[in-house]
Amino acid sequence: MNQTYTIKFIHRINEDGSIDSICRDCFVTIATGRSRLELAPQEQQHTCEPMTIQRYEGYKKLAVR
Ligand SMILES: [Zn+2]
């Protein structure tokens, strides 16, 4: 149950050791923190902007063509 949010987000470790949390659906960096625990509350609060997702869907259509 407490693992569900990690599936939706990619964790990228920066050169300075901080961790970016990137949403897999809208590709927005939703949080940067020192540890995964620090990112968790913001990941749980995140909801994708429908406009952002639509924009990516549009890019996908262009790429297919
Ligand atoms: Zn999102």
**For residue 61, how far is its CA from the centre of ligand 1 (angstroms)?**
19
CA–CA separation, 35 vs 65, rounded Å? 41
The total domain count for the chain is 1
List, for residues 8-17, the tens digit of each pLDDT value. 899 999 999 9
**For residue 34, how far is its CA from the centre of ligand 1 (angstroms)?**
21
Residue 5 confidence (pLDDT):
45
CA–CA separation, 10 vs 12, rounded Å? 6
**For residue 17, how far is its CA from the centre of ligand 1 (angstroms)?**
23
pTM, two decimal places: 0.72
**For residue 9, how far is its CA from the centre of ligand 1 (angstroms)?**
8
Q: What is the DSSP letter of 39?
A: H
Comparison of pLDDT for 49 and 34, the residue scoring more? 34
Owning domain of residue 25:
4-64
**For residue 52, how far is its CA from the centre of ligand 1 (angstroms)?**
8
**What 3-state class would DSSP assign to 58?**
helix
